Amino acid sequence: MIEKTLVLIKPDGVQRCLVGKIIQRFEDSGLKIIGMKMQWIDKEFAKQHYTQDVAERRGEKVREVLLDFITEGPVVAMCIEGIKAIENVRKITGTTEPKAAAPGTIRGDFAHVSFSYADNKEIAVKNIIHASADQGDAETEIKLWFKPEEMHSFKTVHDTFIL
């Protein structure tokens, strides 16, 4: 099943100059970037991304630190397409807590912060990247971050082998 998903390289990933290395991970696996841009978002836009249900699931304090974190610098937004893209992107990304992320994943290789450290410092977990959790989130997030005219369909060499 060909899917689309949203990936954000968060401000810490941009500030650490990891954009190229992260893009390469997705392209090397055969996934296709069909939309990409750099954007410095404001708090109002961030609230649309981290909706109120984040506060209901994880607490208002967590939502506030996430809002502060994602607005502290530019973000690289990508719409990635491929077979089971949501699942495969999340596998490449690694678990949300960098300390627990497996070596070979983006978070496992480029971050090491724990939830407890971030909680003690009252900061967001610097975990480099966001990836849509499921199909519903992917559809909502892609519509928020990209206009239809910012998406570009094309064939890659991988398409000839998988389609």
Residues taking part in catalysis: 130
Rounded-to-integer distance, Cα 35 and Cα 30, Å: 15
Strand-strand pairing, 129-131 and 75-83: unpaired
Helix axes of 19-28 and 85-93: crossing angle, nearest 10 degrees: 130
Helix residue ranges per DSSP H, 76-156: 85-93, 106-110, 115-121, 135-145
d(CA 41, CA 160) in angstroms, rounded, equals 37
Residue type, 21: K
